[in-house]
Amino acid sequence: MLEKVKENLSGADPRFMTSLARGLEVLRTFENRTTLTVSQAAKMAGLPRSAVARCLFTLEQLGYVAATGTTYSLRPAMLPLARAFAVGNPLARDGQRVVDAVRDRLGESCSLAMFDSRSGHSQVVYVCRAETARIISVPLFSGSTLPSYSTSNGRVLLSGLNDVALNAFLAMAPFPAYTSKTLTSAHALRAELVRIQTQGWALTDGEFEAGLRSIAVPVCDASGSVAAAINLATQSNQRQLDWLTNTALPELQAAAAHLSRSSFR
Amino acid sequence: MLEKVKENLSGADPRFMTSLARGLEVLRTFENRTTLTVSQAAKMAGLPRSAVARCLFTLEQLGYVAATGTTYSLRPAMLPLARAFAVGNPLARDGQRVVDAVRDRLGESCSLAMFDSRSGHSQVVYVCRAETARIISVPLFSGSTLPSYSTSNGRVLLSGLNDVALNAFLAMAPFPAYTSKTLTSAHALRAELVRIQTQGWALTDGEFEAGLRSIAVPVCDASGSVAAAINLATQSNQRQLDWLTNTALPELQAAAAHLSRSSFR
DNA sequence: CCTAAAAGTCCGATTATCGGTCAAATAAGC
DNA sequence: GCTTATTTGACCGATAATCGGACTTTTAGG
């Protein structure tokens, strides 16, 4: 997994720092578990214990994790970095205002998402989110990640990939089905992504979770490529499909256009 | 600065991974500047250009930063890590509810802060925050950092340090004065910290910013040591000092006690 | 067009990193 | 309470990953 990233790059670029990659990989294990021992982290990261112990020792010295006995946990050190992104990235900076506005106008939860570029293109990370009532079983926050192939935001982002990247991603198919409606084959997904690309928006209906209906549109950067996606999530029994395409879609498109403009700065 | 951290640790522990430390140090430069070139980052981090170029190359491969031409900027990769802390740390998880409640009851901005353990004990990071109207010139978010010696939250945290850590910190004195009232000498600070420790709360009045008055109390963990601080920030011309100690203080203490309990889990 | 600064490339030296091993400690199972 | 199974912590020689300076190319500025 880690080696793949390195090797894919025209075969082991000498500029690639394995130690740095490993250390960050170890940090990442805390996304799945709040407290970890050395061997647990080693198992999860798929690295030798000694290497993981070195990483955790270093991360502790630097103040990124804290040790209580032999168990490690995260320190707040990530928060300033997350804030740096939140205020430095034009889309993230203006995004909260925009999703709040959409939520207020339409009365449904609205989210701005981007690729979590750490995991190829398989995951999207929620950057900004405005909630109404909780409609999804898994709680979402800024920083939550969701699979890209089965969510409207994710599909919009996938539809903006170039052929090489898209093929690389689809090579991972088939994908697990969350519901009976989930598209899981590379063929079906590719067809859907093509349609999304031409029509300019994506709609998923109960593919990630039964009863969850969602529509998303792309947010483009100055070069015209898809930099983010903004979506509206509703309950199937509350909003009809044509409400999404007739009422929600124009609002989302306006919001996306507005965000697009701000990303030029 | 980086070497100090390493050497202070009983002279270059072989477990310390310099490459990992450097990579994280390079990441940190983005806290000061949203976009950076290699040489800018090298200058800020105080590292050779070639080393920084390797770090940025690696961080880009891993998806933590993105390159646009020769300038780099952060990707949303930090958000999942920040969220992992926010939901995994007991104080952070319950903190938002608590500061919101205090803000609602007292009508003033309330914040929960912890040491930013990356920079010795010189900075505190705001973990949770509930705002009223903007009363401070510099906007604060979750993830914002402020100097510990001149803020009420910071002083509470400092008052919980052991002698060794405190002496190490005070050795950096004198500290810059933000206003004419700022305590800047090690002597004065030490005296104030002792008083804070015995009385159980800290009050700063216009030391960080003129017209800003703030009171803070400690939040302790299971072992009884200070794990966080919670404070209320007011404008000098709106709230008298005795309102802070008579009305605000009990509320803060109740909130802190409540948080303390949740940290046991 | 010329100058200065930054970026990109390369490479030999060195040392930081590696990962397996072993003893000690801890936890689990009986 | 004893045995067994993991886990931790420390060690160390081998090796490859990292280092940083030097050079060339490119970009930016006057």
pLDDT, tens digit, 9 for 90 and up, residues B173-197:
788 999 988 998 999 999 999 999 9
**Residue B262, burial from CB neighbour count under 10 angstroms (0-12, 13-18, 19+):** middle
Q: Does A172 touch chain B (CB under 8 A)?
A: no
pLDDT, residue B264, reads: 67
**Closest Cβ opposite residue B5 in set A61, A82, A126:** A61
| Two tokens, residue A246 | 């007739």
Residue B8 reports pLDDT greater than 80? no
What is the C-alpha to C-alpha distance for residues A105 and A121, in angstroms, rounded to an integer?
31
Cβ atoms of residues A75 and A60 within 8 Å: no
pLDDT, residue B81, reads: 95
Q: Do B84 and A34 touch (CB under 8 A)?
A: yes
Cβ atoms of residues A240 and A249 within 8 Å: no
pLDDT category of residue B6 using cuts at 50, 70 and 90: very low
Residue B19 CB lies within 7 Å of the nucleic strand D: yes
Burial B30-62 (b: 16+ CB within 10 A, else e): bbeebebbbeebbebbebeeebbbbbbbbbbbb
pLDDT, residue B138, reads: 64
Q: Which CA distances in Å does A145 have to A117, A119, A121, A166, B260?
A: 11, 10, 12, 19, 30
Of B245, B169, B236, B167, the closest CA to residue B200 belongs to: B245
pLDDT, residue A263, reads: 73
* DSSP assignment string, A30-60: GGT-SEE-HHHHHHHHT--HHHHHHHHHHHH
Cα three-residue angle B173-B176-B179, rounded to 5 degrees: 135
Q: Mean pLDDT, to the nearest integer, of A8-19?
A: 70
**Residue A96, burial from CB neighbour count under 10 angstroms (0-12, 13-18, 19+):** middle
Q: Say which range, A199-203, B135-139, B230-234, has the weakest mean pLDDT.
A: B135-139
pLDDT, residue B142, reads: 86
**Closest Cβ opposite residue A81 in set B27, B73, B126:** B27
What value does the mean pLDDT of chain B take?
90
Q: Mean pLDDT, to the nearest integer, of B28-50?
A: 92
pLDDT, residue A27, reads: 95
Cβ atoms of residues A23 and A65 within 8 Å: no
pLDDT, residue B136, reads: 62
Share of chain A above pLDDT 70, in %: 92
| Two tokens, residue B174 | 């004198």
Domains B2-75 and B81-263 share a fold: no
Give the other-Cβ count within 10 Å of B218's Cβ. 24
- How would you list the strands of the sheet with A65-68, edge to edge? A35-36, A71-74, A65-68
Q: Which residues of B touch A15 (CB under 8 A)?
A: 53-54, 57-58
pLDDT category of residue A1 using cuts at 50, 70 and 90: very low
Q: Which CA distances in Å does A140 have to A28, A111, A112, A125, A202?
A: 18, 10, 12, 10, 20
Q: Which of residues 98-117 of A touch B (CB under 8 A)?
A: 114, 116-117
Of B46, B233, B221, B35, the closest CA to residue B144 belongs to: B233
H or E stretch including B124?
Answer: strand B123-130
Cβ atoms of residues A124 and A153 within 8 Å: yes
The most confident of A130-144, A187-201, B131-145, by mean pLDDT = A187-201
Residue A2 reports pLDDT greater than 60? no
pLDDT category of residue A64 using cuts at 50, 70 and 90: very high
Task: Measure A72 CA to C25 C1' (Å).
Answer: 19
pLDDT, residue A119, reads: 87
pLDDT, tens digit, 9 for 90 and up, residues A118-167:
988 999 999 999 988 765 656 678 899 999 999 999 999 999 999 999 99
pLDDT, residue A8, reads: 41
Residue A7 reports pLDDT greater than 80? no
Question: Three-state DSSP class for B216?
Answer: strand
Cβ atoms of residues A256 and A217 within 8 Å: yes
| Two tokens, residue B157 | 């945290």
* DSSP assignment string, B135-155: -SSS---TT-EEESTTSHHHH
Residue B139 reports pLDDT greater than 70? no
Sign of CA dihedral A47, A50, A53, A57: negative
Q: Which residues of A touch B28 (CB under 8 A)?
A: 81
Question: Three-state DSSP class for B255?
Answer: helix
Q: Which of residues 63-82 of B touch A (CB under 8 A)?
A: 63-64, 66, 73-82
What residues are paired with B234 via a beta bridge? B213
Strand locations in chain A, DSSP E? 35-36, 65-68, 71-74, 109-115, 123-130, 145-147, 202-205, 212-220, 226-235
Residue B13 reports pLDDT greater than 90? no
pLDDT, residue A35, reads: 94
Question: Three-state DSSP class for A197?
Answer: helix
Instruction: Choose which CATH entry (3.30.1330.10, 3.40.718.10, 3.40.50.920, 3.30.450.40) describes domain B81-263.
Output: 3.30.450.40
Residue A14 reports pLDDT greater than 90? no
What is the C-alpha to C-alpha distance for residues A224 and A227, in angstroms, rounded to an integer?
9
Q: Does A124 touch chain B (CB under 8 A)?
A: no
Domain ranges of chain A: 2-75, 81-264
Residue B167 CB lies within 7 Å of the nucleic strand D: no
Which CATH architecture group holds A81-264? 2-Layer Sandwich (3.30)
Q: Which residues of A touch B15 (CB under 8 A)?
A: 53-54, 57-58
Cβ atoms of residues A263 and A230 within 8 Å: no
Give the other-Cβ count within 10 Å of A108's Cβ. 26
Q: What is the CA radius of gyration of chain A?
A: 20
pLDDT, tens digit, 9 for 90 and up, residues B84-116:
999 999 999 999 999 999 999 999 999 999 999
What is the C-alpha to C-alpha distance for residues A82 and B249, in angstroms, rounded to an integer?
31
Smallest CA–C1' separation from A42: which nucleotide?
A: D7
pLDDT, residue B123, reads: 96
pLDDT, residue A142, reads: 86
Task: Measure B31 CA to C17 C1' (Å).
Answer: 29
Q: Do A117 and B75 touch (CB under 8 A)?
A: yes
Q: Mean pLDDT, to the nearest integer, of B46-53?
A: 91
| Two tokens, residue B154 | 């910071």
Query: Does the domain formed by A2-75 have CATH 1.10.10.10?
Result: yes
pLDDT, tens digit, 9 for 90 and up, residues A162-185:
999 999 999 997 889 999 989 999
Q: Mean pLDDT, to the nearest integer, of A203-215?
A: 93
Residue A9 reports pLDDT greater than 50? no
pLDDT, residue B137, reads: 58
Give the other-Cβ count within 10 Å of A106's Cβ. 19
| Two tokens, residue B240 | 């008298």
Residue A172 CB lies within 7 Å of the nucleic strand D: no
Cα three-residue angle B75-A123-A130, rounded to 5 degrees: 75
Residue A37 CB lies within 7 Å of the nucleic strand D: yes
**Residue A70, burial from CB neighbour count under 10 angstroms (0-12, 13-18, 19+):** exposed
